[in-house]
Amino acid sequence: MKATRVRSRRVVLAVVLIGTSLAAGLAARQLSENDWDPTLFVTFGEGAPEITEYGEIALGREVIIRPRGGHDGKYFFVQAVDPWLLDPDGNISVVDRPLYRAQRMLYPVLAGGMGLFSPRIIVWAMLIVNILAMGVGTWAVAELALDMGGSAWWGLSFLANPGLMGELLIDGSGVVAAAAAFGAVLMIGRGDSRVALALITCAALARESMLVVAFGTAIWAWTRGGRRLAVRIASIPTLAVAVWAVYIRLQAGIEEGFSQIIGIGLPFVGLLETFEYRSLDVLHVVGRFGVLLLFVLYLRQAWRHRSLALSWAFVGLVPLGLIATREVWASYWDFTRAIAPLITALFLLFFVADRRDVNRPQVPSVVS
């Protein structure tokens, strides 16, 4: 038994090294084709000249400019320069929706070295943090697969996730959020509620949609008799998100907030609107139907394996996806990022959980 555990840990280490190396290799290839300029991943856009000018002034040089508006990385760059909003007029004010963007604080805090890094270091740190997060997420999924009776090689499903790869390529916060979320699910299954709670809170502070992990695992704990634990899991991450929301409103001196959220609407409306928006784009149409099929498969697998914390943790992304607006559904690039953890979770439920005794706990654990 001891020899088996040693071999399993060696495989996990190999999987983590491979996953991290592949992520770094992909980034290196992109950099080599663009004069090793990390602003490629910051995704400054020609349609957002104010932030582009901000970046060029901060870095003291020209930056790579993407078509149209670029993507999320440029906002996180501004946040990483001033992660605590100490100078909101000189930094976060250049962002389109400052309160909404500033809510996702963990990634820019890490990439900004808690506010100590210079902009020239930050453009590299943003990429490095995400590559390391790829390694952490690969480790967490590999360990989850082992606990479910499968192979640690399934840890590479974290890396193979198109949504998470998209986040890596645009300096998004989704990799950090997903890595923390899967780490939380791993620890809650092993009975380490303190570490799990810390990781769920980190996931929610990296991406507020990861509160579904808090609520989902809280339901799982409640159904297993851990009512005090369920209350802590649901309340502490929510409180942390709320406290940060109050802080940024006070610090930035902005009272509005809900009006800056444009990604949530009525169920199915955003999806239906996209068929008019890009009705002739076959790839996007196929992608939308693919995601709907993914939702159905996940609900089926989650119900089959409802004794697992994993099933409950990400099920909330299904209704969240259905109320997403046209801005999210318009591109497979965006909606795969929005539900990225669900894709990896489905891999585990479909290819690992289906091949184990669902009545056997992941590991011996006590919900307390």
DSSP string, 181-215: HHHHHHHHHTT-HHHHHHHHHHHHHH-GGGHHHHH
Grade residue 271 by pLDDT with cuts at 50, 70 and 90: confident
> Cα 116 from chain centroid?
24
User: What's the domain count of the chain?
Assistant: 1
The answer as to whether 303 is a domain residue is no
Grade residue 281 by pLDDT with cuts at 50, 70 and 90: low
The answer as to whether 88 is a domain residue is yes
pLDDT of 144-198, one tens digit each?
A: 999 999 999 999 999 999 999 999 999 999 999 999 999 999 999 999 999 999 9
181-182-188-194 Cα dihedral, nearest 10 degrees = -50
Inter-residue contact 143 to 154 (CB < 8 Å): no
**Of 331, 329, 309, 307, nearest to 320 (Cα)?**
329
How many whole angstroms separate alpha carbon 252 and alpha carbon 255? 9
What amino acid is encoded at 111 in this protein?
A
- pLDDT at res. 299: 95
Length of the chain: 368
Backbone dihedral region for residue 207 (phi beyond 0: left; psi -120 to 50: alpha; all else: beta): beta
Does the pLDDT of residue 248 top 50, yes or no?
yes
Give 286: exposed, middle or buried? Use CB within 10 Å, 0-12, 13-18, 19+. exposed
Task: Compute the Cα dihedral for 276, 282, 284, 285 and give only its sign.
Answer: positive
The answer as to whether 224 is a domain residue is yes
- pLDDT at res. 359: 41
Grade residue 361 by pLDDT with cuts at 50, 70 and 90: very low
pTM: 0.91
**Of 161, 160, 144, nearest to 317 (Cα)?**
161
The answer as to whether 300 is a domain residue is no
- % of the chain with per-residue pLDDT over 70: 88
Boundaries of domain holding 53? 2-263
Q: Where are the alpha helices (DSSP H) in the chain?
A: 2-32, 39-42, 49-59, 73-81, 98-102, 106-111, 119-147, 156-159, 162-169, 174-189, 193-206, 211-223, 227-252, 269-277, 282-304, 309-313, 317-322, 326-329, 332-338, 340-351
pLDDT of 304-328, one tens digit each?
A: 999 999 999 999 999 998 888 777 7
- pLDDT at res. 364: 40
Beta bridge partners of 45: 66
The answer as to whether 352 is a domain residue is no
The answer as to whether 329 is a domain residue is no
Contacts of 250 (CB under 8 A, 6+ apart): none
Give the CB-side neighbour count of residue 329, counting CA atoms within 13 A: 30
Across residues 201-218, what is the average pLDDT?
Answer: 96
- Residue whose pair of structure tokens reads 């508006």 in the numeric block: 69
pLDDT of 99-122, one tens digit each?
A: 888 999 999 999 999 999 999 999
The answer as to whether 258 is a domain residue is yes
Does the pLDDT of residue 251 top 50, yes or no?
yes
Contacts of 216 (CB under 8 A, 6+ apart): 312, 313, 314, 315, 316
The answer as to whether 278 is a domain residue is no
In angstroms and rounded to an integer, the radius of gyration of the C-alpha atoms of the chain is 20
User: What are the φ and ψ backbone dihedral angles of 126, each rounded to 5 degrees?
Assistant: -60, -45
Q: In 10 A of CB 328, how many CB atoms?
A: 22
Contacts of 124 (CB under 8 A, 6+ apart): 38
